[in-house]
Structure 1
Amino acid sequence: MDAQPTWSAPAYDFAAARPVASTDAGPSFFRSARWTTDGTAILTAGEDRLLSVHDLTHEESGVVGLAQPRTFPQPDSVNAAQWYPSASRLVPETFCFVASVRDAPVRLIDASDGRIRASYPIVDHRERFIAPYSFAFNTAADKLYCGFENAIEVFDIASPGYDTGERLKLGLTRKEKGGQRGIISALAFSAHHPTFAAGSFAGSVVLYDEDTRSAIAHVEGVEGGGVIQIAFHPLDPNVFFVASRRSEAIQPFDLRDTSAPVGRLARSGSTNQRLAFDVDPWGRWLASGDEFGTMRVWDIGSTYDVLFEQKLHGDAVNSVQFHAHQPLLLTCAGSRAHLQASDIEFSSNEDTDSDSDSDDDDVVEQSTVHVKTGAKDSRLAVWSFGQQ
């Protein structure tokens, strides 16, 4: 019988940051990027309606690189995309992800060739497809939770098709007190308790019991203009983190007292776009980029001190994620470009009409206008924090 591989926490040297691989999104930009659990591949969602899978390569010399991506065009904008929890390029049956595309059913897509393995339609009262804004698999990886306006749809992964989902209506009527209103924009499960958290663009965060699916606590003191991400601490069963748009901090909370945050991890995030953070799988650090391209790493094992701070991109950092087994960090950047005066260039060509009957030659100016658009920095990059 083959021995099972044993993993240990990778050793990071935050003074030795260096890029080892990157790829450019061109005129578009990457909205999100995520490793598989074993770090063998990367899933990206682009502003250009593309879902792409980038395989991580290792040469004999030890050099890390990215293979030519497999791109899967989508019919409309992508709201969310997430790997199946045990996805691995080395195990074909697990190598898949779920995607939410506007006006289409939720789809389970094979990451090798882009074929649709299963679909999970969410339909409203007008028989229109609802595309969720957030996904989360439960800890057993047999249920998929999909967040949309005032509700969460729960699917059994093994039972795709119509009328198979269970809808949790969170937005109560005006006569009923409580409830959670707004688009459910963030979902996360605790690995230690039968609990999941839901955040909304209305700015609320509520903790629910997974078994009864009833609310057990409302989180107070969430700042910003709408929740974009929630993550539970992998080792501390009582701590979870909340990030919001138009917020200058990531906020840690304690499950035992949700009346106020227990700390503040400052970052620049006055933008509406999602600036995702990541918690080290081994429970040591939290990493996040900001709207100006600076990446920070905080110590969350004992204090909330900043261990690393450096400008890695020339634009907003949309995603940051630690590799589980190597001292590698994944980042992607980009933002919608707003047209400025400096983005417009004029050039002119002067042609003389020699056949004119006029005493003076007619001068015809043909002007060309060139508009520079696109993100300032639309790279997907892998950074090494290991000893050279």
Structure 2
Amino acid sequence: MGEEEAVAEENGGESGEQNSSWPTMRFDVSPYRTHHFSKQFRTARNPNNFLKGLKWSPDGSCFLASSEDNTLSLFHLPQDGGDSNGYGVPVPEEDSYGASLLVNEGESVYDFCWYPYMSVSDPLTCVFATSTRDHPIHLWDSTSGELRCTYRAYDAMDEITAAFSVGFNPDGTKIFAGYNSSIRVFDLHRPGRDFGQYSTLQKNKEGQAGILSTLAFSPTNSGMLAVGSYGQTTGIYREDNMELLYVLHGQEGGVTHVQFSKDGNYLYTGGRKDPYILCWDIRKSVEIVYKLYRATENTNQRVFFDIEPCGRHLATGGQDGLVHMYDLQTGNWVSGYQAASDTVNAFSFHPYLPMAATSSGHRRFAIPDDDDEDKKDLQLKADENCVSLWSFYVTSEENNTYDENNGVTSKSHLQNVTG
């Protein structure tokens, strides 16, 4: 059995078989835009405000977007899920609707994450954590916008130090936070300054050094944790005692995002000023399985990618405004579409609907000119610094069989199930 066949069987389920009870997203047909948000992110005080990332809530009821003005905006998904005509909407000048909640942080937001068991039917679980420059970790109520509690880490000078990355463990009982060459673990039910600290750099200078910028847990409850560093390395640890298992080298830039495959056997890592997402087999981490290209070789901006709920495909944005879809069984490019006219810095699949969300934008520097104040306003277009929701066409197993037997794809077989 070849390496690609092994990946096909273990990364994304058995090849050629799909769950007949769940429709399959079509990636050979470009998705259509259902909602768009841009105007509310720009104000007279900050006309060049841009998005830095977004994440769906675990229950899929809403998504959270982070912007450069230190604000997190929460948008609820409409009950119909999107427009019903199946053709999408053009980029409008006005937003589809306003944010349901705005959370203002005091400084730049480094990272944010949802509580893994968040459900809108249980208000106690509707929380998310944020890490902010020069601030402790905050736990926010996504229903009221109130600050639930804080988790404070201190340095050797007994001053508060900020986490660069934050994430809940799969059980939802602890908060793991990445600092400079150390991981701090907080008990979710014990806010304050109590935490366990684990150094990622040993006395013999072996291990993982640098700012720990991103972390992810294995979805199979195997007790494994992946931590990315701006030192161009990714460390694999045991969750219970933070024992370092091994370190992955190969990223050309600082690692900004890591994500496990749905079966937990593969790890995908991406870095800044690095045009490739690397695929690693964590069971034999001696070499890279394959590389996935994206246009990020000239930016320090963090660009988030995501894996679809079925685990078969990965999607990522880039500086060219394109979203690229890759088949994880083979590592081959499948399709792409133009999502924005600026850098697409985040792509996130909906947890269970055939939908996705993208955020775009980058920092702009206006040239001061006393003679013409209007030049300071760069007149941004609606499809530059924005958030868009996309719906994918889907097809059932019967339609797949029909298409294979006839060799054609009928548009009548494409379904929109977001409604």
Question: How many residues get paired?
Answer: 355
Letter in 2 for 1:316: T
Tell me how far 1:286 sits from its aligned partner. Answer: 0.5
CA distance change for structure 1 residues 9 and 61 in 2, over 3 Å: closer, same or farther?
closer
Distance in 1 of aligned mates of 2:178 and 2:364: 28
CA distance change for structure 1 residues 384 and 309 in 2, over 3 Å: closer, same or farther?
same
Distance in 2 of aligned mates of 1:85 and 1:374: 39
Distance in 2 of aligned mates of 1:307 and 1:197: 27
The residue that corresponds to 1:229 in the other structure is 257
Distance in 1 of aligned mates of 2:218 and 2:82: 40
Distance in 2 of aligned mates of 1:316 and 1:260: 30
3-state SS of the aligned residue for 2:176? strand
Tell me how far 1:335 sits from its aligned partner. Answer: 0.4
The residue that corresponds to 2:225 in the other structure is 196
Moved over 6 A (4+): 344-347
3-state SS of the aligned residue for 2:226? strand
Alignment partner for residue 47 of structure 1, among 61, 68, 73? 68
Within a 5 Å distance, the mapping from 1:14-163 to structure 2 comes to 14=27, 15-24=29-38, 25-26=41-42, 27=47, 28-59=49-80, 63=84, 68-162=99-193
CA distance change for structure 1 residues 314 and 35 in 2, over 3 Å: closer, same or farther?
same
Letter in 2 for 1:381: S
Tell me how far 1:67 sits from its aligned partner. Answer: 5.0
The residue that corresponds to 2:317 in the other structure is 289
Alignment partner for residue 198 of structure 2, among 168, 171, 195? 168
Distance in 2 of aligned mates of 1:375 and 1:112: 32
Letter in 2 for 1:183: I
For 1:96-125, what per-residue CA distance to the aligned partner results, in whole angstroms no more than 9, with x for missing partners?
100112211101100112111111001112
For 1:11-36, what per-residue CA distance to the aligned partner results, in whole angstroms no more than 9, with x for missing partners?
32231411000111223111011101
CA distance change for structure 1 residues 269 and 336 in 2, over 3 Å: closer, same or farther?
same
| 2:219 is the alignment partner of 1:212 | no
For 1:113-152, what per-residue CA distance to the aligned partner results, in whole angstroms no more than 9, with x for missing partners?
2111111001112222111111122121111100011111
Letter in 2 for 1:105: P
Tell me how far 1:373 sits from its aligned partner. Answer: 4.0
The residue that corresponds to 2:24 in the other structure is 11
CA distance change for structure 1 residues 161 and 260 in 2, over 3 Å: closer, same or farther?
same
Which consecutive residues of structure 1, in runs of 5 or more, have no partner in the other structure?
A: 1-6, 348-366
Distance in 2 of aligned mates of 1:216 and 1:69: 43
Preserved CA contact (<8 Å) 1:335 1:375: no
Preserved CA contact (<8 Å) 2:75 2:100: yes
RMSD: 2.3
The residue that corresponds to 2:292 in the other structure is 265
Distance in 2 of aligned mates of 1:89 and 1:375: 35
Which has the larger strand fraction?
1
Preserved CA contact (<8 Å) 1:334 1:375: no
3-state SS of the aligned residue for 1:44? strand
| 2:406 is the alignment partner of 1:378 | no
Structure with bigger RCO (C-alpha 8 Å, 6+ apart):
2
Residues 209-218 or 66-75, more deviating: 66-75
Distance in 1 of aligned mates of 2:168 and 2:82: 37
Residues 279-288 or 57-66, more deviating: 57-66
Distance in 1 of aligned mates of 2:296 and 2:228: 18
TM-score normalised to structure 2 length: 0.80
3-state SS of the aligned residue for 1:129? coil
Q: Percent identity?
A: 29
Preserved CA contact (<8 Å) 1:275 1:291: no
The structure with more radius of gyration: 1
Distance in 2 of aligned mates of 1:60 and 1:41: 11
Letter in 1 for 2:243: S
TM-score normalised to structure 1 length: 0.86
Distance in 2 of aligned mates of 1:188 and 1:329: 20
3-state SS of the aligned residue for 1:57? coil
Preserved CA contact (<8 Å) 1:346 1:369: no
